[in-house]
Amino acid sequence: FLNIIGNIILYIPLGYLLKKKGFKNKKIIGLSSLMIIGFEFIQFILKVGVFDFIDICLNIGGVITGMLVKGTDNNE
């Protein structure tokens, strides 16, 4: 359970900050996905973790959560 929550919470700031910088949703998800898959691949190569598809999905869920938290401001 802690692993699941941790994988989501870890990437909420990324989604929030990229949305705040004005990136479009598709670009945020695309860039974040590439970065997350890269991190998972590095874990696999260096044998410091496990390449896990579920982790990738949870991390992207965290990015999307950050985007939703930021939302859109009417003042901008």
Q: How confident is the model at residue 73 (pLDDT cuts 50, 70, 90)?
A: low
The pLDDT value recorded for residue 2 is: 85
Q: Is the whole-model pTM more than 0.75?
A: yes
Q: Write the DSSP assignment of 5-17 as a string of letters.
A: HHHHHTTHHHHHH
8-58 pLDDT tens trace: 999 999 999 999 999 999 999 999 999 999 999 999 999 998 888 999 999
Q: Decide: residue 59, CB within 10 A, 0-12 exposed, 13-18 middle, 19+ buried.
A: buried
